[in-house]
Amino acid sequence: MIRIFDITSKDLLQLLRDRMTFLFLLIMPIAFTFLFGFAGGAFSKGGVDPRLLVGFLDEDNSRFSQSLHDNLAKSEVIRLEEGNTRADLESRVAGEKLAGAIMIPAGYGRAVLNGKPIRLTLIADVSTPAGMSVESEALTAAIRLDSAVRTAVIMEQVAGDKAPFDYTYQKALSAWQDPPVRVTETTSSAIQTQDKSVQALSHTSPGMMLQFAIAGLSTAAQIIVTERKSRSLQRLLTTATARIQILLGHYLAILLLIFCQFLLLITFGQIVLHVNYLQAPEATLLVAFSSALCISALGLLIGMLAKTEEQAVIFSLIPMFVFAGIGGAWVPLEVTGETFQAIGHASPVAWAMDGFKNITLRGLGLRGVLLPTAALVGYAVLVFVLATWRFYTAEEK
C-alpha cells in the first residue's frame, strides 16, 4: 500500500517541476475564463437593466396620474423614461429606442374620480412580445388604480367620515401589493439575485476549469509514457511492486493534481469572479471530486495508450476539444437543440457542467448534483477499467 503513495509522491514531484503543468492547470483556465466571460457579457460597466424601456408622458399632472406613474415605476417588466412630447415618444418608439410609450391625457384624474371612462394612450406595436408586455403592464396599473378609486368613493359614500376617501384609496392601492391570489416562482432566486456579469462567469468558470484539466493531462500522461520508454516501468516490475500498485500510484497523483487545481480555481472563482460556488459547499466539493475522478482516469488511459510524448499531447488535446465542445464548456447546452443536448451528455464535461451550474446558477444543493455525480463516477469507473486492461495486456517487453 505504501508503495502506491511512494509512486504518487514521485509523480507529483515530477509534475510540479514541469512548468507546463502550471500553464495548463492554472494560467490558461484563468485567462480563458476572463476571455470567454468577457465575450459573454461579464465585466460590463454598471450592469444592464433587463426591463423594457418605456416612454412616459403625463399631460394630466393630477394625484391619480402620479399614482399611476408610481405603480408603473414599480413594475418588474417595464422601466419608465420621461418623454417631452407625443411626437418625441412616437419617433423613439418607431426608431426602436423605446419598447413603447404611455401617455396620460389631460383630465384623466377627474374622469377616474367621477367614474367616467377615459383612455390612456399607448404607443407600441402590440403584435410583438414587447408591445404586448407594455400593454399588459399599462392595463394592469390602470385597472388597479381605477378599482382603488372606485373602492374609496363607494366606502366614503357608505361609511362617511369613518372611511375617508384618502385613507381608503391608499389602503386599496397598497392591497394590490399583496393580493389574495398570486403566482409565485418555484425556481431558485439565484438567477434573480445575480447580475448578468456573474451569470456569464458562472458558465465560463467551470467550463474553462474542466477544459484545461483535460488539456493538462498531457504532462501527467507523458510521465507514464516516459517511464515505459525509459524502461523504468520494466525495472519497477522487477521489484516486489505489483502492477496494480503502479497503476494506482499514477492515478492518485493525477487525481490529487486535478482536484487541487479545481479547489484553487473554485476559490479564485468565488473570491475574484463572485461565482457562487460556496452557496452549497458540500455539493461543489462532490462535483469537483467526481469530475477529478473521471478526468484522472482519462489521464491514466492516455498514458497507457500513447507510445510517445507527442502522442500523449495529441491524445490529451483531442478529448479536450471534443468533450469540452460537445459538453457545453464553450456554448451552454441550454441554448442548443434537444438533439445536441442529448449528444452532448455523452461527454462527461456536460455532466460536470450540469453539476456546477445547478449550484451556481440554479441555487440547488446536494440533491441537485447527485445525478451528475453518479454519471461522472460511472465514467471514471469505465475509463479506469479500460486503462487497467490496457496496462495488463500491453506488451511485456
Partner 1 sequence: MNAIEVQNLHKSFAEIKAVQGVSFNVSQGEIFSLLGPNGAGKTTTISMLSCLLKPDEGDALVMGHSIRKDPNGVKSVLGVVPQDIALYEDLTARENLTFWGKMYGLRGLPLKKRVNEVLEVIGLSDRANGRVGKFSGGMKRRVNIGVALLHKPKVIYMDEPTVGIDPQSRRNILDNVVELKNQGMTVLYTTHYMEEAQELSDHIAIMDHGEMIACGTHEELVQIVGEVDRITLTISMLTGDTDTGKILMAWRAIDGVREVSTDEGAITLLADDSHRVLPPVFEVASANKVRIIGADIQEPNLESVFLHLTGRALRD
- Rule CB under 8 A: is residue 17 a binding residue for partner 1? yes
- Rule CB under 8 A: is residue 238 a binding residue for partner 1? yes
Q: Which of 44, 170, 192, 230 contacts partner 1 by CB under 8 A?
A: 230
Q: Which of 127, 186, 239, 393 contacts partner 1 by CB under 8 A?
A: 239
Distance CA 116, CA 17 (A): 84
Contact 355, 374 (CB under 8 A): no
Contact 265, 24 (CB under 8 A): no
- Rule CB under 8 A: is residue 309 a binding residue for partner 1? no
Piece of 43-51, 71-79, 190-198, 237-245 that binds partner 1 (CB under 8 A)? 237-245
**One-letter-per-residue 3-state SS of the chain:** CHHHHHHHHHHHHHHHCCHHHHHHHHHHHHHHHHHHHHHCCCCCCCCCCCCEEEEEEECCCCHHHHHHHHHHHCCCCEEEEECCCHHHHHHHHHCCCCCEEEEECCCHHHHHHCCCCCCCEEECCCCCHHHHHHHHHHHHHHHHHHHHHHHHHHHHHHHHHHCCHHHHHHHHHHHCCCCCCCCCCCCCCHHHHCCHHHHHHHHHHHHHHHHHHHHCHHHHHHHHHHHHHCCHHHHHHCCCCCHHHHHHHHHHHHHHHHHHHHHHHHHHHHHCCCCCHHHCHHHHHHHHHHHHHHHHHHHHHHHHHCCCHHHHHHHHHHHHHHHHHHCCCCCCHHHCCHHHHHHHCCCHHHHHHHHHHHHHCCCCCHHHHHHHHHHHHHHHHHHHHHHHHHHHHCCCC
Piece of 9-17, 146-154, 314-322, 383-391 that binds partner 1 (CB under 8 A)? 9-17
Contact 362, 283 (CB under 8 A): no
Cβ of residue 245: shortest distance to partner 1, in angstroms? Answer: 10
Piece of 13-21, 276-284, 351-359, 362-370 that binds partner 1 (CB under 8 A)? 13-21
Closest CB to partner 1 among 110 and 229?
Answer: 229
Piece of 119-127, 202-210, 222-230, 378-386 that binds partner 1 (CB under 8 A)? 222-230
Cell of 304: 497507457
Q: Which of 74, 116, 182, 397 contacts partner 1 by CB under 8 A?
A: 397
Cβ of residue 220: shortest distance to partner 1, in angstroms? Answer: 13
- Rule CB under 8 A: is residue 1 a binding residue for partner 1? no
- Rule CB under 8 A: is residue 220 a binding residue for partner 1? no
Q: Which of 153, 237, 305, 317 contacts partner 1 by CB under 8 A?
A: 237
Piece of 5-13, 197-205, 332-340, 372-380 that binds partner 1 (CB under 8 A)? 5-13
Closest CB to partner 1 among 12 and 138?
Answer: 12
Closest CB to partner 1 among 14 and 147?
Answer: 14
Contact 141, 135 (CB under 8 A): no
- Rule CB under 8 A: is residue 371 a binding residue for partner 1? no
Residue type present at position 250: H
Piece of 8-16, 120-128, 338-346, 359-367 that binds partner 1 (CB under 8 A)? 8-16
- Rule CB under 8 A: is residue 19 a binding residue for partner 1? no
Closest CB to partner 1 among 252 and 266?
Answer: 252
- Rule CB under 8 A: is residue 10 a binding residue for partner 1? yes
Q: Which of 19, 110, 231, 367 contacts partner 1 by CB under 8 A?
A: 231
- Rule CB under 8 A: is residue 235 a binding residue for partner 1? yes
Q: Which of 170, 234, 267, 308 contacts partner 1 by CB under 8 A?
A: 234
Closest CB to partner 1 among 87 and 240?
Answer: 240
Beta bridge partners of 53: 79
- By CB under 8 A, the count of residues binding partner 1 is 23
Can you give the binding site for partner 1, defined by CB under 8 A?
Answer: 2-3, 6, 10, 13-14, 17-18, 226-227, 230-232, 234-241, 396-397
